[in-house]
């Protein structure tokens, strides 16, 4: 199906474990983004990518790593998960200057 997908949709992990959230888009959009959404903070940008092999930090990058070897994929890795990283994570891609969001991943770190 065309669009933007995220996996897993739900994830429970433990403090200190590595977790990777996947994002895949079929539009071939150059720009892709990772946000987290928490009550009281709205959407906060973690990392973004302008093209394959080009990534840059957003507002809250600490504790996260991204890569983009292919245009269609933009995985987000939590190298050592902490409770403060419990959140809903949204991936988005951009056409022109309009962003379109994936369905989100709800991550719980115990």
Residue closer to another protein by CB (options 20, 100) is 100
Residue closer to another protein by CB (options 41, 70) is 41
Residue closer to another protein by CB (options 64, 90) is 90
Kindly state the smallest distance separating residue 56's Cβ from another protein, in Å.
9
Q: Quick one: DSSP state of residue 73?
A: B
Residue closer to another protein by CB (options 85, 90) is 90
Kindly state the smallest distance separating residue 9's Cβ from another protein, in Å.
11
Contact footprint for another protein (CB under 8 A) = 31, 40-43, 45, 48, 50, 58, 90, 94, 97-104
Kindly state the smallest distance separating residue 55's Cβ from another protein, in Å.
13
Kindly state the smallest distance separating residue 66's Cβ from another protein, in Å.
15
User: 74-88 as b/e, with b when 16 or more CB fall inside 10 Å?
Assistant: bbbebeebeeebbbe
- The alpha carbon dihedral of 37, 42, 48, 50 has a sign of positive
Contacts 24+ apart (CB under 8 A), 40-45: 43/90
């Amino acid at each position: 199906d065309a669009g933007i997908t995220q996996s897993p949709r739900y994830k429970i992990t433990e403090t200190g474990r590595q977790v990777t959230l996947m994002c895949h888009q079929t539009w071939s959009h150059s720009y892709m983004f990772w946000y987290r959404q928490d009550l009281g903070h709205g959407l906060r940008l973690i990392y973004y990518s302008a093209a394959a092999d080009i990534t840059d930090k957003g507002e809250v990058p600490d504790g996260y790593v991204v890569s983009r070897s292919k245009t269609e994929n933009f995985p987000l890795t939590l190298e050592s998960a902490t409770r403060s990283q419990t959140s809903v994570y949204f991936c988005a891609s951009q056409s022109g200057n309009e962003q379109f969001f994936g369905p989100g991943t709800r991550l719980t770190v115990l």
